[in-house]
Amino acid sequence: MEELNKQLDFIIELDRLKGVYRQALVKSDKNRFENSAEHSWHISLTAQILHNYAIEKVDVSRVMSMLLIHDIVEIDAGDMFAFSNEAAHAEQEDKEIAAATRLFGLLPEEQFHTFNQLWLEFEAAETIDAKFAKAMDRILPLIQNMKNEGGSWARHKVKKSQVIKRNEYLEGLAPQLWSYVCQQIDLAVKNGWLQDA
Amino acid sequence: MEELNKQLDFIIELDRLKGVYRQALVKSDKNRFENSAEHSWHISLTAQILHNYAIEKVDVSRVMSMLLIHDIVEIDAGDMFAFSNEAAHAEQEDKEIAAATRLFGLLPEEQFHTFNQLWLEFEAAETIDAKFAKAMDRILPLIQNMKNEGGSWARHKVKKSQVIKRNEYLEGLAPQLWSYVCQQIDLAVKNGWLQDA
């Protein structure tokens, strides 16, 4: 029972991700802030729907697993707005590494390694699977903001160049999605939702 | 672009599942009601963590996909409390079939069939993958209620026999989990969280 008890402790701890709120708004639920658990569900499904646009072979099952776990570290480290400054990003990275060790460490040894490795692969964004997973994590807020009059971009005066940089994983990997993203960014500037800089 | 536009329409429509609330409470977020999107995330991960307890081969990737999509029909049909009466269940089933046709029907033809078939397989609960997915959908509320002084059971005066029946998928499929569930049910009765009937 010891192994099962460890797994149940981890499963219970996961509940806390439902209380970590992001900058994105849920338009269909009175424009409240979105939490990282429901966001993880949404991008895992987005990956399943869009993976055929990748021009290299993507293992969609690995990508879904990555996306289901990618924000668990926020239980300890909290969510940081994507367009924060570099110093804040570096500090967040340290917090997240410690969080991964503590949280995945609740699991039995073998699962700890599997989850920790998968999370590190996602963070490094060097493999095709990780790049595609990152791209999904970034295209969805764009889709949400475009349906919500600029959403978090407009509220935080985000620049066009920042959104382009953030979505660049798509450029070589899924040209059709990249082309869609570029069109949407231009439209956002035209609508005054992104700063033209 | 027509295919991509259909997929994006579906992805945007998914946002509405974040506004469908269930009877379960999120203890770590001020005991607010849980929505079906974050619930779907939680059980998909639960399946990934616990699939080795199944004594028959489970395709965990299919199970995760099933669990990610299993509640999408609630966007149109709403959530129904698990322990409602039989007439309510029959009416809900009709609503959900219509919802699946409309919602998955937003997708291009091939993906519509894939998602609809996967959802029907889950609902029928005849294959090993579907049975294991159903079991995960049912064990998690039990784990949540046990950590929350009976949670939705106590509020709705649920009976021991109802919870046993609901979790019976585990009996042949994952005996160790079934034994854990039976222990927890006995403990819930002892604590007055479930009615001894």
CA A134, CA A122: separation in Å to the nearest integer?
7
| Residues from chain B contacting residue A40 (CB–CB below 8 Å) | 41
Flag if B64 and A68 touch (Cβ within 8 Å).
Answer: yes
| Residues from chain A contacting residue B14 (CB–CB below 8 Å) | 42, 45
A90-99 contacts, C-beta under 8 A, 24 or more apart: A96/A123, A99/A72, A99/A73, A99/A74, A99/A75
Q: Is the pLDDT of residue B73 over 90?
A: yes
Q: Which residue of B has its CA nearest to A13?
A: B28
CA B144, CA B47: separation in Å to the nearest integer?
15
A86 CA to chain B: closest CA distance, Å?
30
- Asked if this assembly's ipTM is beyond 0.90, the reply is yes
CA A9, CA B185: separation in Å to the nearest integer?
18
| Residues from chain A contacting residue B26 (CB–CB below 8 Å) | 15, 18-19
pLDDT tens across B104-145, in order? 999 999 999 999 999 999 999 999 999 999 999 999 999 999
pLDDT tens across A88-145, in order? 888 999 999 999 999 999 999 999 999 999 999 999 999 999 999 999 999 999 999 9
The closest alpha carbon to A102, from A137, A122, A73, A123, belongs to A73
B86 CA to chain A: closest CA distance, Å?
30
pLDDT tens across B138-159, in order? 999 999 999 989 988 988 899 9
pLDDT tens across A24-49, in order? 999 999 999 999 999 999 999 999 99
Amino acid at A84: S
Task: Tell me what percent of the residues of chain B surpass a pLDDT of 70.
Answer: 100
Q: Is B111 on the interface with A (CB under 8 A)?
A: yes
Q: Is the pLDDT of residue B89 over 90?
A: no
| Residues from chain A contacting residue B61 (CB–CB below 8 Å) | 61, 64
pTM to 2 decimal places: 0.95
CA A125, CA A135: separation in Å to the nearest integer?
10
Q: Is A103 on the interface with B (CB under 8 A)?
A: no
Q: Which residue of A has its CA nearest to B13?
A: A28
A14 compared with A148, residue with greater pLDDT:
A14
Could you tell me the CA-to-CA distances from A118 to A29, A47, A133 in Å, in that order?
32, 16, 11
pLDDT tens across A72-91, in order? 999 999 988 888 888 888 89
